């Protein structure tokens, strides 16, 4: 795995998560191969970078790549990849799996599950992965989903092991166990990455509600490395990372001068 750091920006709506993501990704890309990834359904990377970014990886410049995940397409592909494979392995229940796929597509955590799966691919291909998320709730759900899916695969693995015993006893080949094991291992790798290599920057402005939300992020993600960033900083005294108010922080050229060096220092530590 190439990944050195996986960086998340969270916080209240409008505090500057996307702008900081772009600025930090641009700086990191001077050092090594970096992908800037938006999981916010209301994407804004294209506008901030001043370069069209879509649901396929876009080479922005030098070692900087960007992608705005399209949740619907992502879930569709995930359902195809995982469920059609399951259907092939278990033809006897394939109609049930098709039914399940229909539910999955409209289930509340389907997007997070599919996005997490894609995130792991990027962690394998890039040195730095920077994630721009939607306001607080979505980011927290992202982490919760990872743990929930882990429980689910743990259960599936037990079932598959039982089935495997029966199949071997009958002298039949069993591909299901390998498949489940592979999915389970992918998820374990991802959870390991989240524990060991992820940093969360809880972004706020000098404004009480956003500060409160940043505090909630710190409290809810106690087992992760979380740092508070005051963006558009003017004068507030605090023991946190400060990014000053900047005129027009958008467009690649202007972002080069965006004062995110303190954040980058934490990422490189
Ligand atoms: N340091 C800064 N100085 C001046 N303006 C800034 C700064 N950071 C962000 N902005 C401006 O604040 C606005 C909101 O920024 P941005 O879109 O990055 O926030 P966000 O947290 O991603 O919002 P959302 O929750 O809607 O995704 C934008 O107009 C952006 O240009
Ligand atoms: Mg945003």
CATH number for 133: 3.40.50.300
Please tell me the total count of domains within the chain.
Answer: 1
Q: What's the confidence (pLDDT) of residue 105?
A: 72
Tally helices (H) and strands (E) across the chain: 11, 8
Q: What pLDDT does 57 receive?
A: 96
Protein residue with least CA distance to atom 15, ligand 1: 16
> Quick one: pLDDT at residue 16?
97
What order of strands is seen across the sheet that includes strand 241-244?
58-61, 64-68, 34-38, 128-132, 5-11, 198-204, 225-233, 241-244
Ligand number, closest to the Cα atom of 19 = 1
Owning domain of residue 205: 5-268
CA of 249, closest atom in ligand 1:
31
Rounded average pLDDT over 159-175: 86
pLDDT at 72 (0 to 100): 83
For residue 17, the CA-to-ligand 2 centroid distance in Å is 5
CA atoms within 13 A on the CB side of 54: 2
Selection from 30, 73, 77 nearest residue 54 by Cα: 73
65 to each of 41, 51, 122, how far by Cα in Å? Answer: 19, 11, 11
Tokens for 91?
């033809």
What is the position in ligand 1's atom list of the atom closest to the CA of 232?
A: 1
Helices (H), 32-135: 45-49, 71-78, 85-89, 94-106, 110-125
Give dist(CA 43, CA 193) in Å, integer: 25
Q: Average pLDDT, stretch 225-247? A: 96
Q: Is the CB of 135 under 6 A from ligand 1?
A: yes
In whole angstroms, how far apart are CA 32 and each of 27, 128, 133?
Answer: 9, 7, 22
Give residue 249's pLDDT.
96
Q: Does the beta carbon of 16 sit less than 6 angstroms from any atom of ligand 1?
A: yes
Instruction: Indicate the pLDDT class of residue 151, thresholds 50, 70 and 90.
Output: confident
Q: Is 232 in the pocket of ligand 1 (CB under 6 A)?
A: yes
Rg (CA), the chain: 20
Q: What is the maximal distance between C-alpha atoms in the chain? A: 73
Q: What is the pLDDT of residue 226?
A: 96
Instruction: Determine the length of the chain.
Output: 269
Query: Which ligand is nearest to the Cα of residue 12, counting in written order?
Result: 1
Is 205 a pocket residue for ligand 1 (Cβ < 6 Å)?
no
Ligand nearest to the CA of 234: 1
Whole-model pTM?
0.92
Our mutation pick for probing the ligand 1 site, out of 8, 10, 14, 234, counting the most ligand atoms within 8 A of Cβ, is: 14
Q: What was the pLDDT predicted at 126? A: 98
Task: List, in order, residues 6 or more apart from 114 with CB less than 8 Å away.
Answer: 71, 74, 75, 77, 78
Please tell me the distance between residue 250's alpha carbon and the centre of ligand 1 in angstroms. 9
């Amino acid at each position: 795995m190439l990944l050195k750091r996986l960086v998340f920006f969270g916080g209240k709506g409008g505090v500057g998560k996307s702008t900081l993501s772009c600025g930090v990704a641009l700086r990191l890309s001077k050092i090594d191969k970096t992908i800037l990834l938006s999981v916010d359904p209301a994407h804004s990377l294209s506008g901030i970078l001043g370069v069209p970014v879509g649901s396929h990886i876009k080479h922005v410049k030098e070692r900087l790549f960007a992608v705005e995940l399209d949740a619907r397409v992502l879930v569709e592909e995930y359902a195809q990849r995982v469920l059609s494979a399951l259907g092939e392995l278990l033809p006897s229940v394939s109609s049930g799996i098709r039914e399940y796929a229909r539910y999955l597509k409209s289930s509340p955590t389907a997007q997070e599950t599919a996005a997490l799966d894609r995130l792991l691919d990027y962690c394998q291909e890039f040195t730095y992965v920077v994630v721009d998320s939607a306001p607080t709730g979505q980011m927290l759900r992202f982490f919760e989903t990872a743990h929930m899916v882990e429980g689910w695969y743990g259960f599936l693995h037990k079932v598959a092991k039982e089935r495997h015993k029966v199949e071997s006893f009958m002298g039949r080949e069993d591909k299901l166990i390998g498949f489940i094991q592979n999915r389970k291992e992918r998820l374990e790798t991802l959870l390991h990455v989240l524990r060991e290599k992820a940093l969360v920057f809880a972004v706020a402005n000098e404004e009480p509600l956003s500060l409160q939300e940043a505090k909630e992020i710190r409290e809810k993600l106690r087992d992760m490395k979380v740092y508070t960033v005051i963006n558009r900083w003017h004068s507030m005294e605090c023991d946190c990372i400060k990014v000053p108010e900047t005129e027009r922080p958008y467009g690649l050229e202007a972002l080069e001068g965006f004062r995110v060096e303190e954040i980058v220092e934490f990422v490189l530590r």
